Amino acid sequence: MPVNSQDFVIFSQSVTPDGDEIARRVIVSRAYYGAYHACTEWHASLPVAGHDIGFKGGAHQTLVNQLVNPDQSCTRDIELQSKGIGYALRELRDWRHEADYELHLTIDKVRAENAIEKAKLLLQRAAVGGAPPPSPPPAPQPPPLPPAPAAPTLTAQATPRPPLRRLK
């Protein structure tokens, strides 16, 4: 039976973080993969892919690079959304790397719980299964100001001066 990105996060929530450390490592790993798949779908829904600028790596690093470097044609809202998603996914990926490969580290209950919360947040931000939210319509413009009345024209006229008085 096919699964989706939410299924990974739901599964990570079903594992008890109070259990042994391997359970907490599984929570972090599955939460990350749920977020990764949601972010991949969101990025694929963009009209133009982001740019793979930065540290080179595999598909996961490429996605992070593309999210934090969106194309110039994106609206400001989409640019900010993409960067926020990318930075959060990078942090969650680093946690997943520690859980899967750094066996000398201890993955505690707080890290496992934080991974679930971050993954849930990423699923919300990535609007799983749909396109990015549209940008709000532009603010209405105020009506143009009426033209200013014409300034009165001054004509040069010779104004008679009073005669100068001589000092005695």
Residue-wise pLDDT for 67-89, tens only, equals 999 999 999 999 999 999 999 99
pLDDT at residue 157, as a whole number: 60
- The answer to whether 50 and 24 are in contact (CB under 8 A) is no
Q: With a cut of 70, which residues of the chain have pLDDT below it?
A: 127-141, 151-166, 168
pLDDT of residue 135: 42
Global pTM reads 0.73
CA–CA–CA angle 10, 11, 14 (5° rounding):
95
